[in-house]
Every structure is written in C-alpha cells, then in structure tokens.
Structure 1
Amino acid sequence: MPSYKAPVRDMQFVLHDVLGIARYANLSGFSEAGADVVDAVLEEGAKIAERVLQPLNQPGDQEGCHFDNGTVTTPKGFREAYRTFVEGGWPSLTADPDYGGQGMPFVLGFAVNEMMSAANMAFSMYPGLSHGAYEAIHQHGTEEQKKLYLPHLVAGDWTGTMNLTEPHCGTDLGLMRTKAEPQADGSYRITGTKIFISAGEHDLSDNIIHLVLARIVGGPAGIKGVSLFIVPKFIPDAEGKPGARNSLAAGSIEHKMGICANATCVMNYDGATGWLIGEEHKGMRAMFTMMNAARLGVGIQGLAQAEAAYQNGAAYAKDRIQGRSLSGTKAPDKAADPIIVHPDVRRMLMTAKAFTEGARALALWTGLRIDLAHRDPDTGIREANEDVVALVTPVVKGFLTDKGFEVAVMAQQCLGGHGYIKEWGLEQFVRDARIAQIYEGTNGVQALDLVGRKLPANGGRAVMALFGELHKHIAEREGNADLAPLLPPFKAGVDRLQQGTMWLMQNGLSNPENAGAASTDYLHLFGLVALGYMWLQMAETAQAKLKEGTGDAAFYEAKLVTARFFMERMLPDTAAHLAKLESGAANLMALGEDQFGAAA
C-alpha cells in the first residue's frame, strides 16, 4: 500500500523564506494570512490529504465510478470524504468574501491543491473543476448570475464543469456543432453532445453547473461564432434551490487508463435550458478564464503525482536490500546494501527530488504573481504580473506535466518489478500522471501557445521583461562565493533561452513550421531555466539560513546539494533543446505522408 506525507516543511520554506509572503501584508487577503494562519492552513490541509483522501486513492482507483442509466455513483467513501472537505471550508479558501469565500491568497491555494492532488488526484478533480467554473462566472457573469451561482460553488454544495470537446473535434473548437437557440425569455435551448467531461455527473453535490460552449443559431462560422452558457443540471427555482431537472444527461462514462475514480462523461444536451455568460460570440474569452485556471491546476497535478511517486520510490530504495555498494559495503550487518547506495538509483531519486522541489517553487512563485496581478494597487505592477502569468502558464502546464510523468516513471523504476504490480501503487501514479499531459490542451498545444501567442504578445513585452529580471538577478550576485558553483551553469541556461528566443523571432515568422517544430524543445528549455531560477533563489536562501545558525541545518544543506545537482545534471539539457530547436523544420517535414505507417 502506497503512502503520502504532505511536504509542509518545504512549502513553508518556499512561502515564508524564499517568496517572503509576509512582505505583502498590505494587500487584501495577505493581511489576514499571517505566518501562523498560513502554517495552520498547511497543517490542516495535510491532515485531510493524508488521513481522509490518501486512504481512498488506491481503493477508489480499483473500484472506479459506477454508471447506471445516466446516474453516476462515485467509489465507496468519496461522498463522506467530500462532505468532510466541504465542512472544512476548503472550496472557499481563496474565493471572494462577497460570495462566502475566505479570500486567502491564491499562492496558498496552490499549496493546498498540490497536497489534495498528490493524496488523491481523481477526488481533487471534483472541486477543482468547480473552481474553474467559479472563476469564469466571477469574471464574466452578470450580477444576477454571480449572486445565484457563486455562493453555492464557494460552499461546495454545487459543483461545476467545463464542456468544450465534441466527438468530431478536439482542440479545433471552431468545428463544434452544439447549437444554442434563443428563447423569448432570454434563455437558450442547448442541443448537442460533449465528450471527455470530467465530473460531468456524480453523487457528491446537490447540483452540477455545466459551462457549455455552443454556437448561437445564425451566428458567425468558426471560433468567432462560439458563445458560453450556464446550463445547470437542476434549474434553480425562485428561492435559488435546485428545481426542475434540465434536459441533459450523461450518456456514458469513459473507461480510462487512469483517474478511474473521477467520472469522465459523455454529456447529451437535448434542448436543455441555458443562459448566456459574457457576450454573444465571445465565448472563448470567458472559457479561457476557466481554462487558464485549469491549466495551472493541471501543472500542479503533474508536480503532485511526481511528489507522491518520489516519496514511495525513496522509501522503497532505503528499505530494499540488493547487491553491494561499488565503493564498499555500507550495511555489513545485512545480507546486502539498500539499493539507495547505487549511483543509478541515486540518479533517479535526485532527479525526482530536484524536479519536485523546483517545480513546487515555480508553482508557488506563479501563484504569488497571480495574487499581485489581482491585488496590488499599482496598475503597472498588476500589468507586469499579468504579463508574466500569461507567459509562464503554458510552461507550468506543459513542462511540469511532461517532467512529472517522467519522474513518476523513474520512481516506479526504483521498485523494479514491484513497481509494475498494482498493490505497490506506483503504477497508479504513472497512469494518473499521464492524463495531465493531454487534457486542458495537450502539451503540444501548450508549446504552440507559448511560441505563437505568448512570446510575441505586446511586442514581446513579457519575455523581454523576464530576461531583464534574470540578468539583473545574475548581475547582483556576481562575485558571491557561496553561489559560485551555481551561477555559471544558470547563466549559460539563460543565454541559451535568449538565443532560442531570438532564433524563433528570426526564423518563425519567415516559416511558421520552424516555430511549430521548435515549440516543444523551446518549452522545455524555458521550463529548465525557470526551475534553475527557483533553485538559485532557494540556494541563496538556504545559505543565509545556515549562516544565521537557526533552524534545521540538514534541511538547508540538502537544498544546496540538490541545487548543485540540478545545475550540473539537469540544466545542461538546455544545450540539447537549443540544438534541436535550431535545426528547424526541414528534418521533420521532409517525408511524404505515404512514407509513414507500416512498411511496404
């Protein structure tokens, strides 16, 4: 049976020491989130993650959801766990106090989300989708819609979904056929079929609020004709309570590789009553609010599954004895040494440790930037942070899920044959991690979004500002003997990222296929440099703590060792990514279509 221990100490280090969130006490939300409150939230979050959600993870995966004529029943224990989750106020943690929320900083919500997802990814998706629906209605809904739906979503007695994909179209939503027919009372009749709808039907909440993309009859063709609608499972009555059953139903649930305890539904809308959210034919604007929140959440899922897998891989490596150390016996009282003495096992565990701790810092750093973009009174600071969040969102989603899956596989490898056996639990982490690379926009789409939209946005303002920040950070630390082993490899990585960016600017416009061919390598190059930036900051903070002579010296020393491993073992991959992206599109596009597939 796998285990999970929430990394509260590491989260406290990043939040308090590296990011210094106490500095933002003048901002709304932060003023109520002193160090004692932050620590209390983390500790209570750890309790529900470890004691309530984690014990249901493997049994829920094995049982899966049950489908019976449009009704979905979640696995044993899920309803009770959701009730505990709601009674603890967790859905309201970062929500607007005007609608019953606690108004805590988003960065703290990111930390809690990691714990919940690591403990039980399938369970965490039910409230996770609700948060996305909350964000879309909060930003784009009318006052009437906000007052009706948001208190219920914040309380957790209603949940939410997002309905985009249809059987004949995936990412190309301009091809969708779901239609919306205007009615005299201002509502619309929604008709069509949506697929891959996470938490589309279940037994956890009193109502499910579906946000559905559809085309208003007679509207423009393509993506410019798409609108977004609120389509509740039960139409709220005059008192705002679930009333008449709407004309929608789950047609089936998917039988999937992973996240088996989350109901992934085919949703059929048969003249269902819906209400427009936002403007006509501007549905993607509102939906992207939901999708961007979801993409950051999915990035955290990649980190979370890597963390859970790493913990179990490390525990096994310290316990399993096999062979003797290459440098001499380490456990003379045993028949063999624990496999953690072997360099290749160390390679996998160090890679996992360096990734998870660096990715956690990047996720929390991004969460803080979201807070500043929403809460800082200075419009210039808000704009600058909006820029950087937009820029790094595809990186957080794409890089953290690609590497998160790789780390889960590495942790599974540490168990050898046992990693392939269900009872040990590692194979579930691998299966669950895999979907994060696919949904909310595949990672190939994230890479295209990064190079095609985010880099050139506002004349490249965001990436140029980021380069300025990185070079300034390096320059201010030149000559710092404590950072001498780390600065040169980090500076080389930054230079490669800048070189890759210039190559795209020079070669992507003249031949768009160059940009497409380079996109994934560029995203990974960017992700490695971003983690390097986090490790440089964590190492500097750890050095300062050691000099102060307070706290757990072993914790800070481990940070320094891991930072050096990242800089010397992982960051050099930036050179390979740069070489591959600069090779251009010709080597990818030369073969004819008939030369792919089975050999003649």
Structure 2
Amino acid sequence: MTTYQAPVGEYKFLAGHVLAKEYEAISGEDASAETLGTVLETLGQFVSERLVPLIASADSAGCLVTNEGVKAPAGYHEVYNDFVTDGWGALHTAIEDGGQGLPLPFGFACDELLSAGSMSFALYASIRLGVYSVLKTIGSPYLQETYLQKIGSGEWNGTMCLTEPQCGTDLSLIRTIATEAEDGTYRLSGTKIFITGGDHDLTPNIVHLVLARIQGAPAGLAGLGLFIVPKFSVAADGALGARNGVTCPRVEEKLGIHASATAELLFEGAQGWIVGAPGAGLMGMFSMMKLARIGTSFQAIGVAEIASQNAIAYALERIQGRDLVGGNKGSIPIADHPNIRREIVRMRTLTSSARMLAFMTSLVNEQSLGPKGADSTKRAQVILPVLMSASKAISSEIGVDVATAAMQTHGGHGYIRDTGIEVLLRDVQILPIYEGTNDVQSLDLILRRLDDGRHQAIDATVDWLRSQIAELPSNESHVEYVKRTLKLLSRIEDVVSVLKEELQRSPFAALQCAREFLWLVGHGVMATLWLRVLFALDSNNLPIDKVAKRAQAQFYFAYLLPETEVRVSRLMAGLEIEQSLRAYPVSLNF
C-alpha cells in the first residue's frame, strides 16, 4: 500500500528560514511561509486521499483512443473536476482572471505534491499554465478575453505543440504550415507528436499553442510563428462550436506515465490565431518552455519524495538478516543494516538537495521579472539560465536515482507491481528526456553561458554564490564546511578557464564532458544552500526535525560533495578522453 505525507515542514523551513530573504522579496503579505504551509497541507490531504489510491489502476488502464476522442483513466475525471472546483488550478493566476494571485513558486511547490500522487495527473494540471503565461504576456485582447480565465482556472486545458516526426531539438526543421486567411486568422496543417495532454475528456476544450512555419516567410527559425488553435471553436458568447480540424489518431505506448495522453495530433486546416508578431514565435515558445523546464524539477522531486518515504516504511518493517554490528541475536529490520541506512540517508539528502536547488531557481525566476533596470533583476536574468539547466538536469537525475534506490531497498518486492515502486521508476524515466534533454541542458552551459559576448553567466553565478557565503554569520562549528564550499567554487573557476581554452583548441574535448560541468556547477549551488541550512538550524522553533536535517547536511558534505573531485578530474582530462573516444571504432562490427 503506497503511503504519502506532504513535505509541508520542508517548504516552511525553506520559505521561512533558509531562503527567507529571497522568498520575502516575492511573496507579499498574502503569501507568507505559513500560508504556503497551509496550502500544501490541504493539497497534501487531497493527494493522499484522492490521487494516491488511483496510482495502480490509472497506470494499468492508461488512456483509450475512441471515435469520440481520448478517454482518461477511470477516476481522473472526477478528481480533476474537484481539483478545479476547489480552486487549485487558479492558485497563481492573476486575480483579474479569476485566480488567487499567489506567487509562481507556490504553484511549483504544489506541482511537487501532485507529481508525488501521480506524475500523469500533475501534467494535466500544470501544462496549461505555460499557455496562460504566453497569452498573458503577448496575447491579443481577443485571445486574452476568450481564453485567459478558462485556461487559468483549469476549466479548459492547454498544450505546447513543438515536436514533429522529423524534428525535436532542431526546430528549424518544422514543417507544419500556417497560411493566412482573408479574415486575418490562419489555417494550420501538419503533424505534431509527443504532445502532453494532446487530447482527453477531462475538460470540454483544449487550447493548443502551436509552433508553425508561416507560408511565404523566410526559411529557418525566423519564419516560425506561434498560434492558438482550440480543439473546439469558440463563439463570441463563449459557447463551444464544432471540432476545429484537430484530431488525435493515437496516443503513444510509453514506458511510463501511462495515464498521461501523450498524443499525436493532426492539424488539417485548423483555424488558428497568431500570438505576438509573425516570425517571433520561437521567443514566445521559449517563455512557455522555461516554466515547463522549471516544473520538471518539481515533478522529479515529487517522485523522489514518495519513493523514499515508502522505502523507509518498508525498511522499518522488513525483518531480514542478522545484526552484524551490535551482535544481538535474531533478525533485525533492514533499516538497521549500515548499507541500507546509508541509502536511506542518501535518498533523503538527494531529495532535499534537489528541492532546495529547484525552489531557489523558482525564486530567481521571480526576481528576473522584477523592476526593469534594477541590479537584482539584471543579475537574476543572467544567472537564471544557469540555474534552470542545472536544476532541470540534476533534479531529474536525482529522481531516477532515488526511485532506483527505493526499488533496491524493497528488493524483489519492489520489482513487482504490489508496492507501487516499479510504477514510480517507470514514470520518472521521462524527466531527463523531455523539456530539453539533460545533454542539451549541459551543452547550453558550455556553449552559451561561459561567455555569450555580453555576459559570463557562470562567473556571475559563482560570484553570486560567494556573496551568499559572505553574508553568513560567523560560526566556528561550520568553518570546515565553508572552506570546502569555497574550494569547490574556486575549482569551478579553474575549470571555466580550461573549458574556454578547449573550446578554442578542441571543441570536441570541451563538449564531451558537458554533463560533468553541469553537475559541478550544480554542486556549487547545492553546497552553498546546505551552508545556509546549517546556519538556519541555529534558530529555534523550526518546522523540521533539526537532528535529521543536520545529519543530512553532514552527509552531503562528507559523502556527496567529494564526487565533485572526480568530475573535476574528468574535465581536466578532456583532451585525453577525446583521444580515446576518437580512437574507438564506432561501427556495427561488434
């Protein structure tokens, strides 16, 4: 039986203590750390009571393609309706659009809880918010009036349609064509694949945000436009009309997230409305992808949280093996074996590390939207791409790692369906892939963030981390951990110099080790955040177990941080690694 307890105390600790300075700058009076805790506690009950019981049945049933469209698993329709009716879908949409106006980090924290209950359901609940954001930012008055409130509340859903059979990352290869009609709208024709929530029966309408090539526009990225294409046409009074030339011939048969309708969509003369200026579609889509990319981190954290909770529950009740340390006779709970205890602490520390990294990223994203020209805004805009790439890649890999460790803790019982662990492990595998693969995220750091001609974003990130450490109060008991973190930041600076030289001398050598560099930078952020945790633990009346959190911090610096030296060694050996890679005969002659 899968169990779940929302990490309310963890978020209250982050918002009210560890990241209080950043959180207070964006939260306002109505979004205190206590308010965040209350929201998460209530949503946590919803997840435990309504979503968790559907994990096995929804995974087994999946989505069904019928003549009327795609049907979501049994139980999802009622739960989704209650989710919208109770106001969860409108937490951070604008008050003028019928929302509650809470900060976006609230929504991301809620995404973690929903993803713990079901990644598939969380996708239905969250993907539309990117459409809402794009329309709110650059949508015409007509589009805003027609769609904002419906999408913002969750009454209608939305999708992001980029990928086509012949193109994924390289969007210049898009073939979907948008032809302007006499009435100023467009007619779209083409095929999109891998569309999350592309078709389902949870909402009466689905609003697709489609990237398409404008007929007669220049080749390449400059010829792309962004279009709103509703599943059903919308009359002037808001009533739904006929199907709008968008059909779903199939949903993908996937390793995991079976309950999510990952669809192929055919656009056959579908009517669309352009969003923003012609040729500027890619920039609008990137703003949606930014939110989806940050959200991916929280999906992974949700899986890691519920997987580790259930691994601990199993380890406490599973009696197996003799006491090889204390010498007591008789079998003991496997949680008392040193290697299992290490894995439990490792799972919990990794989950906490990812949560801090992701939540900080969400706060910096808010700062990047601050007053134009302000120093804090400009700095946030420079370092945000670094944090987004690191958070997305590291959190998603931590999600896979923790789910795998949870299965190992369960042993054979984790491999069968009864415990629910195998569902989590299958679901989480998608996260390193979608919203830009982790290899793409790591390449971005080396190709764009070392020096883009205007900013040296990695250097700015390291400077920002140093400033955080400098602001910490003096405490002799934490001096050694401060030294280790500052040493790591210096090592990052050394590696940056090497990578800049290698990019000039041998791009192959620099690019093949991009993943190592991303993790190195990520550890720089996480180590700094763990320092902030240690200093926050000196306060009283905290909402978390101080002993457990201090043990996690100690474990991070003693067990997890040392892996950075291995990554530095690989980065410094880039040219030698290049020689071995080029020498290896990649062929089908095995």
**Normalized against structure 1, the TM-score is what?**
0.94
Contact between 2:382 and 2:455, CA under 8 Å: does it hold in 1?
no
* RMSD (CA atoms): 2.1
Specify the SS of the correspondent of 2:271.
Answer: strand
Which residue does 1:263 correspond to in 2? 261
For 1:540, give the aligned amino acid.
Answer: F
- Which range moved further: 49-58 or 408-417? 49-58
What percent of counterpart residues are identical?
36
The AA in structure 2 aligned to 1:19 is L
**Once the 2 structures are TM-superposed, how far is the Cα of residue 488 of structure 1 from its aligned partner?**
2.7
For 1:584 and 1:594, locate their aligned partners in 2 and report how far apart those are by CA, in whole Å. 15
SS in 1 for 2:332: coil
Gaps of 5+ in 1: none
| 1:388 correspondence with 2:383 | yes
How far did 1:75 drift?
Answer: 0.6
Q: Name the residue aligned to 1:397.
A: 392
Corresponding position of 1:169: 167
CA contact (8 A) 1:93 1:101 kept: yes
Secondary structure of 1:439's match?
A: coil
Contact 2:322 2:332 survives alignment (8 Å):
yes
Report the AA paired with residue 220 of structure 1. Answer: P
* 1:293 counterpart SS class: helix
Match of 2:467 among 456, 463, 472: 472
Q: Which 10-residue stretch deviates more, 585-594 or 214-223? A: 585-594
Cα distance in 1 for residues equivalent to 2:296 and 2:137: 21
Which amino acid is the alignment partner of residue 157 of structure 1? E
2:410 corresponds to: 415
Pairing of 1:67-146 with structure 2 (within 5 A): 67-69=65-67, 71-146=69-144
* CA-to-aligned-CA distance 1:250-304 (integer Å, 9 cap, x gap): 0101111000000010100111111111121221100000111001111111111
| Partner residue, 1:578 | 568
Contact 1:313–1:414 (CA under 8 A) maintained in structure 2: yes
Partner of 1:43, secondary structure, is helix
Q: CA deviation at 1:317?
A: 0.9
1:215 corresponds in structure 2 to: 213
Deviation at 1:574, TM superposition (A): 0.8
Taking structure 1 as reference, are residues 484 and 591 closer, same or farther at Cα in structure 2, changes over 3 Å only? Answer: closer
| Residue in 1 that maps onto 2:449 | 454
Gap change, CA 1:572 and 1:246, over 3 Å in 2: same
Cα deviation for residue 328 of structure 1 reads: 1.5
What do the CA deviations read for 1:111-150 (whole angstroms, capped 9, x no partner)? Answer: 1111111111100001211011111212221222112111
Give 2:16's aligned residue.
Answer: 16
- SS of structure 2 residue aligned to 1:102: coil
Cα deviation, 1:154-174, whole Å, max 9, x if unaligned, reads 121110001111111121111
**Counterpart code for 1:274:** G
**What is the aligned partner in structure 2 of residue 246 from structure 1?**
244
* In 2: Cα distance, 1:421 partner to 1:214 partner: 44
Greater shift in the superposed pair: 590-599 or 235-244: 590-599
SS at the partner of 1:196? strand
Question: Is the alpha carbon distance of 1:88 and 1:456 closer, same or farther for their aligned partners in structure 2, counting shifts above 3 Å?
Answer: farther
The answer to whether the 8 A contact 1:54-1:119 is kept is yes
**Structure 2 counterpart of 1:511, one-letter code:** S
Contact 1:70–1:250 (Cα < 8 Å) also in 2: no
Secondary structure of the 1:258 match is coil
Given that 2:90 and 2:98 are in contact with CA atoms closer than 8 Å, whether structure 1 keeps it comes out as yes
Correspondence for 1:495: 490
1:305 corresponds, among 289, 303, 313, to 303
Does the C-alpha gap of structure 1 residues 466 and 22 become closer, same or farther in structure 2, counting only changes over 3 Å? Answer: closer
Q: Secondary structure at the match of 2:573?
A: coil
Residue deviations 1:80-130 (CA, integer Å, cap 9, x gap): 000111011111111122212211112222211111111111000012110
Shift in alpha-carbon separation, 1:250–1:32, aligned structure 2, 3 A: same
Q: For residues 281-360 of structure 1, what are the structure 2 equivalents within 5 Å? A: 281-329=279-327, 335-360=330-355
Q: 1:379 aligns with which of 365, 369, 374?
A: 374
- How many residues align? The count is 590
SS of the residue 1:484 aligns to: helix
CA contact (8 A) 1:97 1:103 kept: yes
Selected match of 2:577 from 580, 584, 587:
587
Unpaired runs of at least 5, structure 2: none
Aligned to 1:280: 278
The one-letter code of the counterpart of 1:288 is F
CA distance in 1, matches of 2:39, 2:180: 46
Say which SS state the counterpart of residue 557 (structure 2) adopts.
helix
Equivalent positions of 1:509-528 (< 5 A) are 509-528=504-523
Q: 1:245 to 1:21 in 2, by over 3 A?
A: farther
SS in 2 for 1:46: helix
Matched residue type, 2:234: P
- Deviation of 1:496 after TM superposition, in Å, equals 2.0
- Tell me if the contact between 1:532 and 1:571 (Cα under 8 Å) persists in the aligned partners: yes
1:337 alignment partner, SS class: strand
Equivalent residues of 2:225, 2:277 under 8 A apart: yes
1:201 is matched with which residue: 199, 209, 229? 199
Alignment of 1:503-582 (within 5 A): 503-542=498-537, 544-545=538-539, 548=540, 550-551=541-542, 555-582=545-572
Contact kept? 1:22, 1:35, Cα under 8 Å: no
C-alpha change, 1:250 and 1:589, in structure 2 (3 Å) is: farther
Q: Supply the AA of the counterpart residue of 1:317.
A: A
Retained in 2: the 8 A contact 1:99–1:147? no
Alignment CA distance shift 1:509-1:305 (3 Å): farther
1:22 offset after TM fit, Å? 9.3
TM-aligned CA distance change 1:117 to 1:171, over 3 Å: same
- CA deviations 1:55-82 (Å, max 9, x no partner) are 1122211111111236111111000000
* Residues 295-345 of structure 1: per-residue CA shift (max 9 Å, x gap): 111111111111111111111111111112321146x6xx41111122221
Q: 1:183 and 2:181 equivalent? A: yes
Say if 2:354 and 2:394, in contact at 8 Å, map to a contact too.
Answer: no
Counterpart-to-counterpart distance in 2, 1:476 and 1:230: 47
* Stretch deviating more after TM superposition (32-41 or 431-440): 32-41
Q: Distance in 2 between matches of 1:410 and 1:445?
A: 26
Q: Secondary structure at the match of 1:181?
A: strand
Q: Does 1:2 align with 2:2?
A: yes
CA–CA separation in structure 2 for the residues paired with 1:597 and 1:420? 35
